[in-house]
């Protein structure tokens, strides 16, 4: 019974959150465009699907993903698992499995990210196949994996978040001047779309769970910030992928010319 009440409450709250979007679309369609929306019945059914889907997704996060993330963090940071004493000082090298798990979960959730899949397919379509969708997804996923792993390292060590972010964006700025101009906007967008439906809940749950289980860390201060890493490092990886691909093409072209001579 409590579960059904929770679902009903979530549906009502989601409907309240979606209402401004519906209102804006309605106002512009009726008073600005002044035309009846095409396929109105299909649109209404679609909004109902969105409402139900978002509600079930939010309930799933609360019931499954967040508890699982916290449980995994507790297990990976358990002194018995790490082979250290409960009162021992925190050493970053004791948490290598945490970094590995963080990188793996960052990579896998990014590959499954619907927003990234949609953008990658559009990029492939617009570029005429020059930018392959799967290669872009892999490049972004590698960036997220590295970013989340470094983010967990920051939580373990308790080092300041701004230092990492400033260095990350300094690298992005440098790469922006060196990478192909056609890839820069796509790289920046990739950092945004990857922190969406699938990635954000899992990464947030991992960060909060990790910060709440490591001695001397605060869930409020140290638990948040992983998503920032998951946004910055995909930009670096996509720009780096383009720079490496450009360098290899030039190298192959130079080698072909030497063979011809």
**Please, which pLDDT band fits residue 141 given cuts at 50, 70 and 90?**
very high
CB contact at 8 A, 226 and 205: no
Mean pLDDT value across residues 143-167: 92
Is a pLDDT exceeding 90 seen at residue 143? yes
Distances (CA, A) of 20 to 35, 77, 147: 20, 43, 34
Would you state the pLDDT for residue 261?
A: 59
Query: pLDDT digit string (tens) for 16-40?
Result: 888 888 889 888 888 888 888 778 8
Would you state the pLDDT for residue 170?
A: 96
- Rounded to an integer, what distance in angstroms lies between the CA atom of residue 22 and that of residue 17? 10
Would you state the pLDDT for residue 255?
A: 64
Query: pLDDT digit string (tens) for 169-193?
Result: 999 999 999 988 888 998 998 888 8
Average the pLDDT over each of 8-17, 76-85, 194-203 and give the range with the smallest value: 76-85
Can you state the angle between helices 226-260 and 184-193, rounded to 10 degrees?
150
CB contact at 8 A, 227 and 195: yes
């Amino acid at each position: 019974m409590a579960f059904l009440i929770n679902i009903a409450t979530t549906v009502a709250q989601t409907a309240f959150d979606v209402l401004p979007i519906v209102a804006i679309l309605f106002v512009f369609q009726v008073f600005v465009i002044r035309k009846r929306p095409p396929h109105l019945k299909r649109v209404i059914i679609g909004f109902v699907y969105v409402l139900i889907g978002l509600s079930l997704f939010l309930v799933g996060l609360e019931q499954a993903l967040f508890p699982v993330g916290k449980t995994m963090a507790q297990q990976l940071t358990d002194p018995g698992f790490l082979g250290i004493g409960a009162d021992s000082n925190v050493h970053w090298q004791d948490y290598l499995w945490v970094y590995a798990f963080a990188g793996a979960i960052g990579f896998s959730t990014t590959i499954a990210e619907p927003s990234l899949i949609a953008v990658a397919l559009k990029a492939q379509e617009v570029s005429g196949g020059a930018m392959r969708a799967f290669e872009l997804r892999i490049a972004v996923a590698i960036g997220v994996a590295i970013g989340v792993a470094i983010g967990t390292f920051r939580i373990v060590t308790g080092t300041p978040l701004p230092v990492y972010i400033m260095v990350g964006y300094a690298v992005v700025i440098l790469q922006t001047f060196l990478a192909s101009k056609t890839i820069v906007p796509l790289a920046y967008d990739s950092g945004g779309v990857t922190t969406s439906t699938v990635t954000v809940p899992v990464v947030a749950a991992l960060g909060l769970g990790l910060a709440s289980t490591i001695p001397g860390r605060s869930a409020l201060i140290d638990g948040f910030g992983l998503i920032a890493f998951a946004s910055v490092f995909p930009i670096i990886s996509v720009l780096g992928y383009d720079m490496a691909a450009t360098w290899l093409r030039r190298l192959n072209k130079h080698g072909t010319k030497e063979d011809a001579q």
